[in-house]
């Protein structure tokens, strides 16, 4: 392979500027964070297995819910998609590497120390962040444990990493497409990531602003979020959700991109409505900026504001529904096989749509006065985040693992992983709709006996779902060490994108001379 192979030993990973190496590191890092965030979830579900306090104190329980959210969102899902972007975008657009390789190295290497810092807050005096992943002031300012300063620093560092990563993606997609690869010929995964990158560049600084104001309030006597000094605690929520709502699309859009690759491949039929898919993605991105206050229906917004945010939020159903219809019509009259990536992709479409339905219900402001901050919300966003994003990530890993390693994963084990995940996931989160509607608030360590049955179900489901991920890990490691080499570089007969035109495993450097795209 070329003149420049990878360096040897640890320095290869520390100093690498190769998009494949960095992509792999992102993926492994995110998997480690997925297991860490997952173990926090296991502690939460173990405590909620039965009414009464058994395992942890309420104070620690709050740290677990907070850290679970932070680690999963910022440590697992986001870096996993950046890892996929690193690996796949250059290969999909026929580029030799990312546009800014040194910055690429740095944006990854910021993450491990950042999360080490964040995790270390759990061992500090007063404990780690305990104010929820949404860190509403003044619980996160005046009433926060001292470790909040480290949390703020960690959020800043994550933000820098994300902004650099997304600038890199924008620069790569805009400048490094192979000749003939026009924008409207780019694979959907590249499109969704391009739009996601713009979202990230737009909102990560807003998050940085929110935590900076917190820092000022805590240490420098300002009162941004304190009414006593002329500020407003609700201001925090506006700023946070102006970041936070686009953030959930930052998580879900690349997942849409993945299934838009996987479904056509295994249906052996081109993606239905490519152009409308692009426009739908762009409209979702635009709408994501004008719906933030639907997270705040009960804070006492004026009715005109409440109505505006309700209508705008309901509108999101239109482009999202169009995407679901497109995927299904892609399958319609295709020639479908159900390998593991396809199973995960179909389940993602199915379960994400269920999450979309509950999302539509939550958009209805009057009804939200009953749903808000109940377990119904917890069920809703896990249907979109776990089934929507994590299932898409599993699909992507099984889909591209043979391309990355040149070896085939164990299909039976993959299918077992899928079915156990699918059952475990639904057993965990479906009953949460019920307890939420029956009146169980979220983020509580203990509950009334009436909620006990569904909570026990939910915990059992969580243990099943959690342990199925160990099987996933085992399958990946086993593929790398003992997998059978793939018969064909193309691996999947229905695949059409550029990455399948290079050998499997993909050589360290691909497309040193750009391919011709017709």
Partner 1 sequence: MYQQAKRLYKLALCPVLMLLSLLSTGAWATEGNPQRWQTNMTPGVTEVGAKIYDLHMFVFWVCVVVGIIVFGVMFYSVFAYRKERHEEPATFHENTKLEIAWTVVPFLLLIVMAVPATSTLIEIYDTDDAELDVLITGYQWKWKYEYINPEGDNVSFFSNLLTDKAEIGNTEAKGSNYLIEVDEPLVIPVDTKVRFLVTANDVLHAWWVPALAVKRDAIPGFINEAWTKPTETGVYRGQCAELCGRDHGFMPIVVNVVEEPEYKAWMATKQAEAAEIKKLMAQTFSMDELVERGKGIYNRSCMACHGANGEGGVGKPIANSPIATGEVTAHIDVLVNGVPGSAMQAFGGQLNDVDLAAVVTYTRNAFGNNMGDKVQPIDVYNFKKGQ
Residues 124-143 that bind partner 1 (CB under 8 A): 130-132, 136, 138-139, 142-143
**Other Cβ atoms closer than 10 A to 412:** 10
Q: Is 1 in the site for partner 1 (CB under 8 A)?
A: no
Distance CA 197, CA 199 (A): 5
Active site annotation includes 260: yes
106, HSE (Cβ side, Cα atoms, 13 Å):
12
Q: Is 270 in the site for partner 1 (CB under 8 A)?
A: yes
Q: Which of 17, 133, 149, 226 is catalytic?
A: 133
Distance CA 115, CA 225 (A): 27
Nearer to partner 1, 165 or 445 (CB): 445
Under 8 Å between Cβ of 21 and 506: no
Active site annotation includes 247: yes
477 CB contacts (<8 Å, ≥6 apart)?
none
Q: Is 58 in the site for partner 1 (CB under 8 A)?
A: yes
Smallest separation, CB 336 to partner 1 (Å) = 5
Q: What DSSP designation does 373 have?
A: T
Peptide bond into 505 cis (omega under 30): yes
Active site annotation includes 442: yes
Site string for partner 1, 293-332 (x = CB under 8 A): -----xxx--x--xx--xx--xx-xx--xx-xx--xx-xx
Active site annotation includes 245: yes
Nearer to partner 1, 232 or 489 (CB): 232
Stretch that binds partner 1, among 48-56, 68-76, 401-409, 464-472 (CB under 8 A): 48-56
312 CB contacts (<8 Å, ≥6 apart)?
287, 290, 291, 294
Nearer to partner 1, 160 or 364 (CB): 364
Site residues for partner 1, window 172-231 (CB under 8 A)? 226-228
Active site annotation includes 162: yes
Helix (H) or strand (E) holding 407: strand 407-408
Q: Is 233 in the site for partner 1 (CB under 8 A)?
A: yes
Q: Which of 287, 256, 286 is nearest to 273 (CA)?
A: 256
Site residues for partner 1, window 99-128 (CB under 8 A)? none
Site residues for partner 1, window 411-440 (CB under 8 A)? 433-434, 437-440
DSSP output for 455-513: HHHHHHHHHHHHHHHHHHHHHHHHHHHHPEEPSSTT-STT--SGGGGS-SSPPSS--SS
Q: Is 489 in the site for partner 1 (CB under 8 A)?
A: no
Stretch that binds partner 1, among 150-158, 250-258, 353-361, 385-393 (CB under 8 A): 353-361
Under 8 Å between Cβ of 267 and 338: no
Active site annotation includes 249: yes
Active site annotation includes 490: no
Q: Which of 245, 269, 403, 417 is catalytic?
A: 245
Active site annotation includes 274: no
Site string for partner 1, 22-41 (x = CB under 8 A): --------------------
Smallest separation, CB 490 to partner 1 (Å) = 17
Q: Which of 21, 47, 217, 247 is catalytic?
A: 247
Under 8 Å between Cβ of 177 and 94: yes
Distance CA 280, CA 319 (A): 5
Q: Is 70 in the site for partner 1 (CB under 8 A)?
A: no
Return the structure tokens found at 292: 């933030």
Tokens 């807003």 locate to: 206
Q: Is 268 in the site for partner 1 (CB under 8 A)?
A: yes
Return the structure tokens found at 34: 């997925």
Active site annotation includes 39: no
Q: Which residues are designated catalytic?
A: 68, 97, 133, 161-162, 245, 247, 249, 260, 294-295, 320, 323, 442
């Amino acid at each position: 392979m070329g003149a420049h192979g990878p360096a040897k030993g640890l320095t290869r990973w520390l100093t690498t500027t190769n998009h494949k190496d960095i992509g792999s590191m992102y993926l492994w890092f995110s998997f480690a964070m997925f297991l860490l965030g997952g173990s926090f979830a296991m502690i939460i579900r173990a405590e909620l297995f039965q009414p009464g306090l058994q395992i942890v104190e309420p104070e620690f329980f709050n740290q677990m819910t907070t850290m679970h959210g932070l680690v999963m969102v910022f440590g697992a899902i986001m870096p996993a998609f950046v890892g996929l972007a690193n690996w796949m975008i250059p290969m999909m657009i026929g580029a030799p590497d990312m546009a800014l390789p040194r910055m690429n190295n740095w944006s990854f290497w910021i993450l491990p120390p950042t999360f080490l810092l964040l995790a270390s807050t759990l061992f500090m005096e007063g404990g780690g962040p305990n104010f929820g992943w949404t860190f509403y002031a003044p619980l996160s300012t005046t009433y926060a444990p001292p470790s909040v300063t480290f949390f703020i620093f960690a959020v800043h560092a994550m933000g820098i990493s994300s902004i650099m990563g997304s600038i890199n993606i924008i620069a790569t997609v805009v400048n490094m497409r192979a000749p003939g690869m026009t924008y409207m010929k780019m694979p959907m995964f590249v499109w969704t990531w391009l739009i996601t990158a713009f979202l990230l560049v737009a909102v990560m600084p807003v998050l940085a602003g929110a935590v900076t104001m917190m820092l000022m309030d805590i240490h420098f006597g300002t009162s941004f979020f304190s009414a006593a000094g002329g500020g407003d605690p609700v201001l925090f929520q506006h700023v946070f959700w102006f970041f936070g709502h686009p953030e959930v699309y930052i998580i879900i859009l690349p997942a849409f991109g993945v299934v838009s690759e996987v479904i056509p491949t295994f249906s052996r039929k081109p993606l239905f409505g490519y152009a409308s898919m692009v426009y739908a993605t762009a409209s979702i991105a635009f709408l994501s900026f004008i719906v933030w206050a639907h997270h705040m229906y009960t804070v006492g917004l004026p009715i005109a504001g409440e109505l505006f945010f309700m209508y705008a939020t309901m509108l999101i159903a239109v482009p999202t529904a169009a995407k679901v219809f497109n995927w299904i019509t892609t399958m319609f009259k295709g020639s479908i096989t159900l390998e593991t990536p396809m199973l995960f992709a179909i389940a993602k479409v199915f379960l994400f749509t269920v999450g979309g339905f509950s999302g539509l219900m939550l958009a209805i402001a009057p009804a939200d006065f009953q749903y808000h901050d109940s377990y119904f919300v917890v069920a809703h966003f896990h249907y979109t985040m776990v089934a929507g994003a994590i299932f898409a990530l599993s699909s992507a890993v099984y889909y591209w693992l043979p391309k990355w390693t040149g070896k085939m994963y164990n299909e039976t084990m993959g299918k077992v992983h899928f079915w156990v995940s699918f059952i475990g996931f639904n057993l965990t989160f479906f009953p949460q709709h019920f307890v939420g509607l029956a009146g169980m608030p979220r983020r509580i360590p203990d509950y009334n006996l009436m909620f006990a049955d569904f909570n026990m179900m939910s915990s059992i489901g969580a243990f099943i779902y959690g342990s199925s991920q160990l099987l996933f890990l085992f399958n990946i490691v086993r593929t790398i060490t003992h997998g059978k080499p793939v018969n064909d570089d193309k691996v999947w007969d229905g695949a059409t994108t550029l990455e399948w035109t290079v050998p499997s495993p993909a050589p360290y450097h691909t497309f040193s001379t750009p391919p011709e795209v017709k």
